[in-house]
Amino acid sequence: MDYSVKNNDIIVCEKDFNLDETLDCGQAFRWKKIDRGYRCTYEGSFLNDSLTVSQVSDDMFVFHDVSEEDFLGKWADYFDFDTDYSELKKQFSEDETLAKACSFAGGIRLLRQNSWECLISFIISQNNNIPRIKGIIDRLCEHYGEFPNASKMAEETPDSLAFLRSGFRAKYLCDAADCVNSGTVDLNAIAAAPIDEARAALKKIKGVGPKVAECVLLFGMYRKEAFPVDVWIKRVLAEYYPNGFPEFINENAGIAQQYLFHYIRNLNE
DNA sequence: CGCCAGGACGCCC
DNA sequence: GGGCGTCATGGC
């Protein structure tokens, strides 16, 4: 990644990056499309910052009104600019289906998001669709003025969360908040634990099954070997990988999964 | 109106 | 251990 400083902006040159594909592919639910790009706020949250970012050409981006220090210290990490996606896609493309997926939407990057936010977001995601997931998370943030931490959410009950209109998931959100707030579930420890141990620990939370646990590991803990299997990936596996997913992908299976997910969902367009 | 959505749980066998 | 009905809500 190449960057330069212009006035109060950071100009980034990066060819393996597309904002629409990365911020609207179902890994993050809080980025808003605005006139000149996307905006998200993490104020009071793990980044304690806000950002407006826009894509001005295939390989050029503007990080608006951000210091070089904050860009390097926060956003370069968040957007995973240290990882060479060109090299990853080159490896993936030895597989015929993945080659197509990579050329279809090669601008997806795995965001380094916050584990707690991902836990809550993907509990909400179960048996739900992306527009409605976004709506519920919007109402959550609007209610607290920011994405609430576990301690704030632990004060709630399923009834007091009725304003979310999250349905049967409210009781799961409360259990997640209780587990994290009380220390029964230590997200930082889980992030560093062996993968099977991490999976088991996450699934102690009510409403966290195999799929949600895998999403939290991948999107909230940067565990690139995690491989969430939802209805779309089931279709991919059945149709293109009847004899199993290629083993050489394993350590980056989660990133490959992102390309495949986006590919199969948009195949008809 | 019915069907589906980035599923998990409880119960049954 | 696998199969199935159920769980809220809303977009289409």
Please give the angle made by the CA atoms of A86, A87 and A88, to the nearest 5 degrees: 90
Question: What tokens were used for A80?
Answer: 């995973």
Question: What tokens were used for A23?
Answer: 């911020």
CA of residue A142 relative to chain centroid, distance? 20
Angstrom distance, A230 CA to C2 C1': 18
**CATH number corresponding to A115-221:** 1.10.340.30
Provide the sign of the torsion angle of the four alpha carbons A31, A34, A39, A41, taken in this order: negative
Statement: the CB of A165 is under 7 Å from strand C: yes
Q: Is this model's pTM higher than 0.95 or not?
A: yes
Asked if A133 contacts A145 with a C-beta cutoff of 8 angstroms, the reply is: no
Angstrom distance, A126 CA to B11 C1': 21
Asked if A184 contacts A198 with a C-beta cutoff of 8 angstroms, the reply is: no
Beta-carbon contacts of residue A220 (< 8 Å; ≥ 6 apart)? A113, A114, A115, A116, A117, A118, A119, A122, A187, A191
Asked if A150 contacts A187 with a C-beta cutoff of 8 angstroms, the reply is: no
Statement: the CB of A168 is under 7 Å from strand C: yes
Residue burial A16-25, b: 16+ Cβ < 10 Å; e: rest: bbbbebbbbb
Angstrom distance, A58 CA to B4 C1': 35
Positions of chain B reached by protein Cβ under 7 A: 4-10
CA of residue A28 relative to chain centroid, distance? 4
pLDDT one-digit tens code per residue, A147-194: 999 999 999 999 999 999 999 999 999 999 999 999 999 999 999 999
Q: What tens-digit pLDDT sequence spans chain A (269 residues)?
A: 899 999 999 999 999 999 999 999 999 999 999 998 999 999 999 999 999 999 999 999 999 999 999 999 999 999 999 999 999 999 999 999 999 999 999 999 999 999 999 999 999 999 999 999 999 999 999 999 999 999 999 999 999 999 999 999 999 999 999 999 999 999 999 999 999 999 999 999 999 999 999 999 999 999 999 999 988 898 899 889 988 899 999 999 999 999 999 999 888 66
- Range(s) for CATH 1.10.340.30 in chain A? 115-221
Per DSSP, the three-state class of A41 is: strand
Angstrom distance, A10 CA to B8 C1': 43
Asked if A124 contacts A133 with a C-beta cutoff of 8 angstroms, the reply is: yes
Has domain A2-82 been given CATH number 3.40.1010.10? Answer: no
Tell me the C-alpha to C-alpha distance, in Å, between residue A166 and each of A37, A124, A126, A135, A146. 29, 7, 10, 9, 18
Residue A19: φ, ψ to 5° = -65, -45
- Range(s) for CATH 3.30.310.260 in chain A? 2-82
d(CA A54, CA A174) in angstroms, rounded, equals 36
A54 phi-psi bin (left φ>0, alpha ψ -120 to 50, beta other)? beta
